[in-house]
Amino acid sequence: MQLDEALRQISDIRQQMARSELFRGYRSVTVGFSGAAGLLAAAFQPQWVASPENDLGRYLGLWLTVAAASLAVGGTEMYWRARGAGAGLARQRTLLAVNQFLPCVVVGALLTLAIYRSAPHVAWMLPGLWSLLYGLGVFASYRLLPRQVFWVGSYYVVCGCACLLWGQGDNAFSPWLMGVSFGGGQLLSAAILYWTLERTDASSRTD
């Protein structure tokens, strides 16, 4: 019993230490890649989906492909960094970050499926809902990241509300609803990660 209790206390201490340190698994290059992919998809959407309201599956295919590619690139880098760090606190911080952000991704996927299958007439709301959910995911991970990331979450929430207010009627499915919200949000994230983490890490190595 005493050994089990001691091991449990050690595990609790390690989890608390993982929560107290900044997570460095998100990198500006991969986050910036997803932002650039979002802007490129927005520019490409009119050629790929001429009428999104009449071809919702094609519209969703474009943006879900962007989301999947972004998750794959970012997840691969996080995996290799965690693997290289061994079984210590870095890996625990990675798992904690994934667990905090994953619910918004799952809810977004289920919400998209439900609207596509049962309520396509409200699909114009998806860019705003995606942005709001992504913002909630950023806020859920906020304690592991630099405090400036608060502005990233705020940006997504503001963009989500703006999409719901103005992204209907003639503006429904406008490519720049996603380009500005997702593309802009990811580029803002990349800039903050570089300025607050990677730039300081590089300067400390040269000192």
Per-residue pLDDT of the chain (207 residues; tens, 9 = 90+): 455 554 454 454 444 444 446 677 788 999 999 999 999 999 999 999 989 999 999 999 999 999 999 999 988 888 887 776 555 566 777 788 888 999 999 999 999 999 999 999 999 999 999 999 999 999 998 888 888 999 999 999 999 999 999 999 999 999 999 999 999 999 999 999 999 888 765 444 544
pLDDT attached to residue 94:
78
pLDDT attached to residue 44:
96
pLDDT attached to residue 145:
86
CB proximity list for 131: less than 8 A, separation 6 or greater: 156, 157, 159, 160, 163, 181, 182, 185
pLDDT attached to residue 52:
95
What gap in Å lies between CA 162 and CA 115, rounded to an integer? 20
> What pTM does this model have?
0.84
pLDDT attached to residue 25:
73
pLDDT attached to residue 106:
96
pLDDT attached to residue 5:
58
What gap in Å lies between CA 45 and CA 101, rounded to an integer? 27
Domain boundary assignment for the chain: 25-195
What gap in Å lies between CA 72 and CA 108, rounded to an integer? 17
What gap in Å lies between CA 185 and CA 19, rounded to an integer? 24
pLDDT attached to residue 80:
80
CB proximity list for 179: less than 8 A, separation 6 or greater: 38, 39, 41, 42, 43
Q: What is the pLDDT of residues 162-207, one digit of tens each?
A: 999 999 999 999 999 999 999 999 999 999 999 988 876 544 454 4
